[in-house]
Structure formats: C-alpha cells, structure tokens
Amino acid sequence: MRKLIYSIAIALSVTVISCQEWEPVLGNQGEPAEPAAATMQPNTTIAGLKALYQGKPVHIEQDIIIGGQVISSDASGNIYRSLYIQDETGAIEVKIGNSALYNDYKVGQMLYVKCQGLALGNYGGMLQIGMEDPTGEYETAYIDVKSIIASHVFKGPKGSPLSPQVVTADEIDSNLKMGYKGPLFGKLVTLNGLTYGKEIFVLIYLDSNADKKASSNRLFLSDQQWGVTTWAFSAQQMKTYLQWGVWDSAKIGNSGDYNYGTVSDHRTELINNAGAYAVSQYFNMPKSNGSNLQIQIRSSGYAKFSDTPIDQKILGGAKVNVTGILTNYNGAAQFTLIDLDGVKIQ
C-alpha cells in the first residue's frame, strides 16, 4: 500500500513539474515584434516585367526585382490566395497561395518581389507572377511553400492606400483590344455611371466531384437574371433558389447539347450537391458613341457578401459607381469588388 501511495505521489509531482516547465511556452507571450521593413530597390517596373511575356509562360532567370503598393485585400473573401500590387506603370497579380493575406500585407504597403526562379504567365488575359505549374495545366501556380514565399516576397514600409484611377468605357474597350497587354488590367479603378443589366452568368455542376466538362454535369445560367438578385450565392442560398423554382426551366448541358433535361428534373440532385458559386452580375457602362460596354461584376460564392441582396435602387436602374480591380477574362471586361464599400449609388 505504501509503495502504491509513493508511486502516485511521484507521478503527481512529475505532472506538476511538467506543467511548470511548459507553461512559459504555452502561455501568452504577446505579439511577435514586427520585422523591419525591407528596403529594396526595384530594378524593373511592373510594365517592364509584363513586357517579357510574349504569348507563352516565362521562367524568369534574370535578377529582376519589382515593387509596388498593395491595392487589394482578401478580408471580405472575394479575392482568394492572391494579391495585386501596383506601381506607376501598371499592376499585376501575385499568386501567394495563402489565405487571410490581409493580416500580413496591408493595403498601401510596399511589396517587393524577387522574380528570379518564378514564372510569368497568362490566365484568360491577365498576367500573373507565381511558380511554374508542374502539371502544365496552367501557366502559373501558387507560391504556397512558406520558405519559398519568404525568399521571393518582401514587405516594405506601410503607406497610404493608392487612390483609384477613374477610367471610362472607351479606355476599357481600348484595353480589351490589346488583350493581356492592356495596361489598365489589374489596377485599382473606379467606374462611374453603371446601370444594372438584368443578366447573370454562372456555371453550376450537378456533381462537383464528377467530370466537370461533361454536358450532363453542367448547368449554365445566362442571358437573363434567373431570379438571382444577390451578388453571388453560398450553398445554402443556392438551395433557396432551387426551392423557389426560378431555375426550373433551365436546361442541363453545353451549348448545342441540351439533352439531359431541365433543373426541375434534377432538383433533388442539385440540392443534395449544392455548393457556393461565383456569379457575374452584368452592368452597362455608357461609351462616348452612345452604346454600352458590358461590365461583369464577378463575386465569389465564398465572399462574406455573397448572399447580400443587390440594393433595390440598383435593380431598379439607379446609376452606380464601383471601385475595385479591373480584369479581363477572354476579351470580356470583368470587375472584382474588394468589398461592398466599393459600390456607391449616385
């Protein structure tokens, strides 16, 4: 009995000592000191870097350093695993493969990128800096290894956010004709006087784990509003739309191959497999010749504001000004909101 009590006492004393030894490590040590801001000198402008791209991916072997101020934030979730930087010559997407980048890279902060060893590529008309994609499916991949990020991306001093550039529909149209060479793409801009186009585009899969190219697995909602009056939709909101029946007549399939019934035929399957989807809400921007340029304001289904209803005044035809990142997708003008503060009714 004495031996048993002695053994228990020893075990308890070891436990207490162990807790005392680890407490300084496990306890709150306070916030780590902010590393000193990098003081680098870019030797190439963003426009100069982009000029290296001539229609195919570029593995950068030169000692190229670019620098620019951060103009995007992923705090709202509408930009994911990337950020945009801008200098006096242009802007570019940096594919840093982490989330919650806004905690480390503040809007207005200088950011330097050592490009040697990275890849410059094109996605849909937008140039990006990232890693080479080992699969060859894309022209760039995410820089998602911590040590590689640390050796290529450096935080400079914090500064005031850049003011957006006000651009016209004519200027956007001119840049679209230039394709990936358009200097406005990737920049922080304001577009004035847009009106709602009563049209959306979204591609939905009946089963996201099945073949995403198969006609039998694809649902396109386009050419009208389809009752979607939110900026995008989460999985729960998708179920709501399906239950309302506003998509019932939409046909399953690719263009020219609508041989798989309608949404009403697949409602249960779609509800069971419901996911969050990005939506392009179409807006019209007046050109100087009296016609309109179509602007697709594309929002992620994972954005915090995805299920937020579009203001009834906007749906009713009120003019709006929007501020965010101007992008190009296969010759169409796309626009990415940083958050809903970027939407102002005139």
Q: What confidence category does residue 37 fall into, taking pLDDT thresholds of 50, 70 and 90?
A: confident
Shared domain for 151 and 169, answered yes or no, is: no
Residue 37 lies in a domain: no
Average pLDDT over residues 113-142: 97
Alpha helices in the chain (DSSP H): 2-26, 46-50, 146-152, 169-178, 235-244, 267-272, 312-315
Residue 253 lies in a domain: yes
Q: What would the pLDDT profile of 292-307 be if each residue is shown by its tens digit?
A: 999 999 999 999 999 9
Among 96, 121, 155, where does a domain finish? 155
Shared domain for 104 and 184, answered yes or no, is: no
Shared domain for 196 and 326, answered yes or no, is: yes
Shared domain for 189 and 332, answered yes or no, is: yes
308: left (phi over 0), alpha (psi -120 to 50) or beta: beta
* Model pLDDT, residue 34: 65
Shared domain for 199 and 147, answered yes or no, is: no
Residue 123 lies in a domain: yes
The structural domain count of the chain equals 2
pLDDT at residue 23 above 90?
no
Q: 69: domain CATH number? A: 2.40.50.140
Q: What confidence category does residue 33 fall into, taking pLDDT thresholds of 50, 70 and 90?
A: low
* Model pLDDT, residue 38: 83
* Model pLDDT, residue 18: 35
Shared domain for 209 and 326, answered yes or no, is: yes
Among 89, 124, 155, where does a domain finish? 155
Q: What would the pLDDT profile of 72-116 be if each residue is shown by its tens digit?
A: 999 999 999 999 999 999 999 999 999 999 999 999 999 999 999
Instruction: Give me the torsion for CA of 320, 323, 325, 329, rounded to 10°.
Output: 0
Shared domain for 219 and 85, answered yes or no, is: no
The more confident residue out of 28 and 182 is 182
Shared domain for 190 and 140, answered yes or no, is: no
Shared domain for 141 and 219, answered yes or no, is: no
* Model pLDDT, residue 2: 43
Shared domain for 301 and 219, answered yes or no, is: yes
Among 132, 155, 178, where does a domain finish? 155
Residue 107 lies in a domain: yes
Residue 36 lies in a domain: no
Residue 34 lies in a domain: no
**What is the extent of the structural domain holding 60?**
46-155
Shared domain for 115 and 194, answered yes or no, is: no
* Model pLDDT, residue 17: 32
- High-pLDDT (> 70) share of the chain, %: 90
* Model pLDDT, residue 6: 41
Q: What would the pLDDT profile of 158-190 be if each residue is shown by its tens digit?
A: 999 999 999 999 999 999 999 999 999 999 999
Residue 99 lies in a domain: yes
